[in-house]
Amino acid sequence: MSQKDSVIHLVAGGVAGTVGAIVTCPLEVVKTRQQSSKSGFHHLPQIAQEPPGGSQTTCRTVSPSQRRRLWTTTRHSRPQVVALSGYVTPSTDTLNIVQCLKHIIKHEGPLALFKGLGPNLVGVAPSRAIYFATYSQAKLFWNGLLPPDSPMVHVCSASCAGFVASSLTNPIWFVKTRLQLDMNKNSNMTAFECVRRIYAKSGILGFYKGITASYMGISETIVHFVIYEAIKAELVSHHTQYSTEKSSRDFFEFMAAGAVSKTVASCIAYPHEVARTRLREEGTRYTGFWQTLTLVFKEEGVRGVYRGLTTQLVRQIPNTAIMMATYEAVVYVLTTRFGTEFYDKEAN
């Protein structure tokens, strides 16, 4: 692969990541809030309605045993206790995406849906650029050691790319998560203020809290790209039998390939995302990857380690489809414009 091809991969990856991040930012905020132990999205109380007889349940009418149960319960904490003026019926249901969006807009304003967008835009372009550039170079390296374009080549290449990208950009995502978890309506905390607070409290190492969970997330990247490359290879092989010309249909097929591969990968490796968000919260309750997963599972069950999965899938399908289609489109435009033979080599 020539230096020109590497630059094209770098630019295409950056543009693709930026476009996807802007379009899906509100869903990213909702997903992070659902994963967190502090948002309350997964245990907001349901206040009992006034019964038909007209009597209203209050602190005075709740029996002492009921009051003790409400105050001492560990599974449903502060949101239930706060609402004691109207007897609370605990709910284990997670608010759906629309309810979460409405809740954020009502209590924090519409701009809160874009909290963390600054660091996201700063980080997504270099992150995706680093990832795609490392992936293409690693693929070239592993093709020289292993059977060319075999599944193992894709696994090794994706692992290298994920490790490098996570190591270099983790501080940016740490700041983004902290900003997204800031639920104070009157908060004017900027990314720079967030950086200052983290550094003052924990130093440089504070920005790498949760990095282990990010490394565990490489498994998602591996599954994603193995499936994507397999589907893409089949599509390229099929089309070269009939025509060497690229068409708009090809880009839609790449979008579908990206969406399918990311959906499968997200379902398999999702718990690492919950652990990563919990580790990035303020406080010392969560200290390590396995400790976090164990604690969440113990206190919240299987549903706890899959908090926000629906939002993740709803977000990732358009995000990945847009990102992959944009990436392929930019690569095609640039290779056509600068006369490289990238697609010819892919077909062969």
- Do residues 50 and 131 both lie within one domain? no
- Do residues 81 and 165 both lie within one domain? no
Q: Domain boundary at 68, 93, 118, which?
A: 93
| Residue 11: partners with Cβ closer than 8 Å, 6 or more residues away | 129, 330, 334
pLDDT for the residue numbered 68: 55
- Do residues 36 and 47 both lie within one domain? no
Residue labelled with tokens 């874009």: 114
pLDDT for the residue numbered 298: 94
For the segment 322-336, the average pLDDT, to the nearest whole number, is 85
- How many structural domains is the chain composed of? 2
pLDDT for the residue numbered 76: 45
Residue 167 banded pLDDT, cuts 50, 70, 90 = very high
CA–CA distance, 232 with 220 (Å, rounded to integer): 18
- Do residues 62 and 15 both lie within one domain? no
Has residue 189 got a pLDDT over 50? yes
For the segment 218-228, the average pLDDT, to the nearest whole number, is 81
Has residue 142 got a pLDDT over 90? yes
pTM of the model: 0.68
Helix (H, G, I), strand (E, B) or coil at 47: strand
- Do residues 154 and 277 both lie within one domain? yes
Q: Domain boundary at 51, 69, 93, which?
A: 93
Range of the domain at 204: 3-42+95-347
- Do residues 69 and 178 both lie within one domain? no
For the segment 206-233, the average pLDDT, to the nearest whole number, is 86
Helix (H, G, I), strand (E, B) or coil at 246: coil
Question: What sign for the dihedral angle of Cα 289, 292, 295, 297?
Answer: negative
CA–CA distance, 176 with 29 (Å, rounded to integer): 10
- Do residues 71 and 177 both lie within one domain? no
- Do residues 82 and 148 both lie within one domain? no
- Do residues 170 and 228 both lie within one domain? yes
Instruction: Find the range with the poorest average confidence among 29-43, 124-138, 305-319.
Output: 29-43
pLDDT digits (tens, 9 = 90+) for 240-284: 666 556 566 667 777 788 778 878 887 888 999 999 999 999 887
Angle among Cα 267, 20, 223 to the nearest 5 degrees reads 30
pLDDT for the residue numbered 90: 39
